[in-house]
Homo-oligomer: A and B are copies of this chain.
């Protein structure tokens, strides 16, 4: 059997399990996200802020992927969320089967939103469908304004892009216009949310989550189709 054939089989097997995951979460009326970003762009900090700000309003579960340590799980748990940590060892991405097993450890009853914090990597996670409703790509201004152009597959696959650490714009070389132009060429339809998690400037993101979660619940008849946004004019 050729190497190409093996890779095709792995992806086919992954897609089959992803479809099962997709149905499982759809039946439960849970909106879920695959959050992809490189190490240190602020994924875990975004989750901490999200959990604090939406506490009592939306029930959120988290699956956190990392090569090693349970540091992310501990940080998230401290915010009162249900969290499952997957340690991949040398694995550079999460796959649908890992997520399926993690889902077994989460009680989906009463859950509104599930966020998968993928392994910190802008490349490999893009190729593996987990069954999620939306892929969210995350960058930070500290990484430089050329990172969208250098990661076209993520930008094209993303349903939403986050540009974090905008509070550091004055200290780093980053031209937002360059970044936006590159994104526009690759995926004209995708929205870019400029956030500063450190300064808790994340309202458009929270509104997006509230809106998407309500829509998912409306489809299964579990919730209200008309959520109240945190701010006006959210995406």
Bound form: Cα–Cα A92–B146 in Å: 17
Q: Does A38 have its Cβ within 8 Å of any Cβ on chain B?
A: yes
Bound form: Cα–Cα A120–B119 in Å: 14
Bound form: Cα–Cα A151–B67 in Å: 7
Give the oligomeric copy count: 2
Closest B residue, CB atoms, query A42:
B144
A124-B124, A168-B168 given as contacts; is B153 within 8 A of A90 (CB)? yes
Q: Does A39 have its Cβ within 8 Å of any Cβ on chain B?
A: yes
Q: What is the distance, in angstroms, from A14's C-beta to the closest C-beta of chain B? A: 13
Closest B residue, CB atoms, query A173:
B198
- Complex interface: chain B residues within 8 A of A55 (CB): none
For the complex, count residues of A whose C-beta is within 8 A of B: 39
Beta-carbon contact of A122 and B122 below 8 Å = no
Q: Does A150 have its Cβ within 8 Å of any Cβ on chain B?
A: yes
Beta-carbon contact of A123 and B92 below 8 Å = yes
Q: Does A10 have its Cβ within 8 Å of any Cβ on chain B?
A: yes
Beta-carbon contact of B68 and A140 below 8 Å = no
Q: What is the distance, in angstroms, from A69's C-beta to the closest C-beta of chain B? A: 5
Q: Does A177 have its Cβ within 8 Å of any Cβ on chain B?
A: no
Q: What is the distance, in angstroms, from A10's C-beta to the closest C-beta of chain B? A: 7
Q: Does A127 have its Cβ within 8 Å of any Cβ on chain B?
A: yes
Encode contact with B along A115-152: 1 for CB under 8 Å, 0 otherwise.
00001111110110000000000001011101101111
20 cross-chain CB contacts under 8 A? A38-B38, A38-B39, A38-B40, A39-B122, A39-B147, A40-B142, A40-B143, A40-B144, A67-B153, A68-B151, A69-B146, A71-B146, A71-B149, A119-B123, A121-B123, A121-B124, A142-B143, A168-B168, A168-B172, A171-B171
Closest 3 CB pairs of A and B: A40-B143, A142-B142, A92-B123
